[in-house]
Amino acid sequence: MATNVRSIREQKGMTQAELAIASGLGREFVNKVERGHVSVALETIGALAFALEIAPTKLIEPVD
Protein backbone atom coordinates (compact mmCIF):
# COMPACT_ATOMS: atom_id res chain seq x y z
CA MET A 1 0.00 0.00 0.00
CA ALA A 2 2.82 2.42 0.83
CA THR A 3 4.20 2.32 -2.70
CA ASN A 4 0.74 2.85 -4.19
CA VAL A 5 0.01 5.92 -2.06
CA ARG A 6 3.31 7.58 -2.94
CA SER A 7 3.12 6.68 -6.63
CA ILE A 8 -0.46 7.88 -7.08
CA ARG A 9 0.18 11.05 -5.07
CA GLU A 10 3.18 11.88 -7.25
CA GLN A 11 1.24 11.09 -10.46
CA LYS A 12 -1.41 13.58 -9.30
CA GLY A 13 1.30 16.19 -8.66
CA MET A 14 0.46 16.47 -4.96
CA THR A 15 2.83 17.04 -2.08
CA GLN A 16 2.50 15.09 1.15
CA ALA A 17 1.23 18.28 2.78
CA GLU A 18 -1.48 18.70 0.13
CA LEU A 19 -2.55 15.07 0.53
CA ALA A 20 -2.62 15.47 4.29
CA ILE A 21 -4.88 18.52 4.08
CA ALA A 22 -7.19 16.94 1.47
CA SER A 23 -7.52 13.72 3.50
CA GLY A 24 -7.77 15.31 6.94
CA LEU A 25 -4.64 13.49 8.09
CA GLY A 26 -1.37 14.87 9.40
CA ARG A 27 1.56 15.32 7.01
CA GLU A 28 3.82 13.28 9.27
CA PHE A 29 1.24 10.47 9.31
CA VAL A 30 1.04 10.53 5.49
CA ASN A 31 4.83 10.27 5.44
CA LYS A 32 4.70 7.22 7.72
CA VAL A 33 2.02 5.62 5.54
CA GLU A 34 4.16 6.11 2.43
CA ARG A 35 7.15 4.56 4.18
CA GLY A 36 5.07 1.63 5.43
CA HIS A 37 5.72 2.46 9.08
CA VAL A 38 2.08 2.40 10.25
CA SER A 39 -0.91 0.12 9.92
CA VAL A 40 -3.81 1.85 8.24
CA ALA A 41 -7.48 1.58 9.22
CA LEU A 42 -10.20 1.28 6.61
CA GLU A 43 -11.33 4.84 7.34
CA THR A 44 -7.82 6.06 6.54
CA ILE A 45 -7.76 4.16 3.25
CA GLY A 46 -11.09 5.77 2.41
CA ALA A 47 -9.84 9.25 3.30
CA LEU A 48 -6.69 8.85 1.22
CA ALA A 49 -8.63 7.44 -1.74
CA PHE A 50 -11.17 10.27 -1.58
CA ALA A 51 -8.38 12.86 -1.46
CA LEU A 52 -6.61 11.20 -4.40
CA GLU A 53 -9.91 10.83 -6.31
CA ILE A 54 -9.47 7.09 -6.82
CA ALA A 55 -11.20 3.90 -5.73
CA PRO A 56 -9.92 2.59 -2.38
CA THR A 57 -8.99 -0.70 -4.05
CA LYS A 58 -6.30 1.13 -6.06
CA LEU A 59 -4.40 1.72 -2.81
CA ILE A 60 -4.31 -1.91 -1.79
CA GLU A 61 -3.66 -3.53 -5.17
CA PRO A 62 -0.40 -5.47 -5.44
CA VAL A 63 2.42 -3.50 -7.07
CA ASP A 64 3.65 -4.98 -10.36
- Give the chain's domains with CATH numbers: 2-58 (1.10.260.40)
Question: Which pLDDT value is given to residue 63?
Answer: 72
- Model-level pTM? 0.91
Give the long-range contacts of residues 43-49, CB within 8 A, separation 24 or more.
Answer: 45/1, 47/23, 48/5, 48/19, 48/23
One-letter amino acid identity for 19?
L
Question: Which pLDDT value is given to residue 17?
Answer: 97
Question: Which pLDDT value is given to residue 5?
Answer: 96
Euclidean distance between CA atoms 18 and 62, whole angstroms: 25
The three-class DSSP label of residue 27 is: helix
Euclidean distance between CA atoms 20 and 61, whole angstroms: 21
Mean pLDDT of the chain: 95
Mean pLDDT of the 24-38 span = 96
